[in-house]
Amino acid sequence: MTQKKKSKFWIFLVILSFLLITFLALLLPIGDYLIINDPVEKSDLITAVSGPEYRILYAAELYKKGLGKTLFFTGSIIGDAQRSAASWSQYLAKTTGVPGEAIVINETTVISTYDEAMLLKEFIDQHPDEYKSVIIVTDPYHTRRARWIYRKVLGDEIRILMSPVAFSRTNYTKYWWRNQESRQLVKNEYIKLVFYVFRYEIAQGKFRDWLSRFDEY
């Protein structure tokens, strides 16, 4: 290889490296923005947003570490919806060593995270002096929207901490563009985040009621 060709080759590598770094610098923040991972502190309640079993198992681990005194599970089987029944969540937690008396379930039909937050509020309102803080377990890319929802529903009086399941235990990856499921979830979370803000903050009256038909999507 001549000196001239070597120079062109190194210039090409430098340009390619720069483009790759720029590419990563632009893509990573898109996924990272959706992730809220609070320092976990001892709380009154731990709840796992219904869904994959790894959420339930992680919530149980947090309980066994002494980070909460009660586990709260919601969710019921609705057609083809991918939601774990609260009773199954209770069973899974028990298999890990969580005592039954530490688990509260509500099997009311839910079709959205907002519905689950409302059931949690109902439970907390029944025990106003006992529960002032909650750790919420879910997938990493779901944490920003989940925090927005639970803050909207529970208000400022309840301390909310987000504790996502580690990527290594989920079907997703931090490098979200490499994995079809991750790409789909990141896209959907941005769409749903905008929808939720519009649905619960901006829309009014009959139009707001009409938007409710899209809650389960």
In tens, the pLDDT along 158-184 reads 999 999 999 999 989 999 998 899 999
Quick one: tokens of 126? 């029944």
pTM of the entire predicted model: 0.84
Q: 143 near 64, Cβ under 8 Å?
A: no
204: pLDDT strictly greater than 50: yes
User: Tokens 């879910």, residue?
Assistant: 138
Rounded percentage of the chain residues whose pLDDT exceeds 70:
82
Of residues 22 and 114, more confidence is placed in: 114
- Domain covering 45-169 in this structure, CATH number: 3.40.50.620
Closest CA to 66 of 120, 117, 102, 104: 102
- Helix count and strand count (H, E) for the chain: 7, 5
In the chain, at which residue ranges do the beta strands (DSSP E only) sit?
Answer: 45-48, 70-74, 103-106, 133-137, 159-162
Angle value at C-alpha 153, between 109 and 210, nearest 5 degrees: 65
